[in-house]
Amino acid sequence: MADSLAGIDQVTSLHKNNELQLLCFRLGKNKDLYAVNVFKIREVVKYHGNLTIISHENNSLVEGLIIIRELTIPLIDMKKWFYYDSQNKNKDLRPYRIEKDKGEDDIVMICEFSRWT
């Protein structure tokens, strides 16, 4: 127990030494590597539930809504987000969707953004 607490203390005091821990991920096989500060991540889960579609627009970043432990969360396609152009808000983002092979798990990173999950 003492070792666990020491490890937690070490991680939570990283900022004192200007250190940062990142979760690295790719949006496709052999594609660019991206990273998110672990303190912004609430959890990473394999998702096997349903997706409630809320928009059928070609320029939508939101794929739909998912429910995890009775919490409704908007699901944003990160690859589409990287191609979003604020100067051309009607840009068709469908070609930039994250594609996965049949049988691959859906991995969802749940982050806090502007105090919203």
Q: Residue 107 forms beta bridges with which residues?
A: 46
pTM listed for this prediction: 0.65
Q: Are 48 and 106 in contact (CB under 8 A)?
A: yes
Q: Which residue has the tokens 């912004």?
A: 40
Number of other CB atoms surrounding residue 64 within 10 Å: 15
Residue 26's DSSP bridge partners are 33
Q: pLDDT tens, 56-85?
A: 888 888 888 999 888 888 988 888 888 888
Q: In the block, which residue shows the tokens 């930039």?
A: 96
pLDDT band at 116 (very low <50, low <70, confident <90, very high): low
